[in-house]
Amino acid sequence: GMCESRIVNATQAIAGVTEAAWDKDKQLLKVTFDKSQTTVDGIQQEVAKAGHDTKAHKATVDAYAALPGCCKYERLDQ
């Protein structure tokens, strides 16, 4: 639950995002947004700032380290 909340909340402050839902089983974030106000890349950057790697952006070491133990995962290329 904490991971889902953190990931979804990372998108809520982004202008143009109207909905976000995390699918834990698929490890997939579905976001509805206005393309004139933000981009997929911008959304991924915010999720990475919250400590979670995305396909395009890695969380910083500090952001990842700040995650609760239950939200940590095996990181590739670290």
77: pLDDT strictly greater than 90: no
Average pLDDT, the chain: 92
- Give me the mean pLDDT over the 20-34 stretch: 94
Q: How far is CA 30 from the centre of its chain?
A: 10
Q: Tokens in use for 28?
A: 């997939």
Q: Tokens in use for 41?
A: 């890349």
78: pLDDT strictly greater than 70: no
Residue 76's pLDDT is 72
Residue 22's pLDDT is 93
pLDDT tens track for 28-51: 999 999 999 999 999 999 999 999
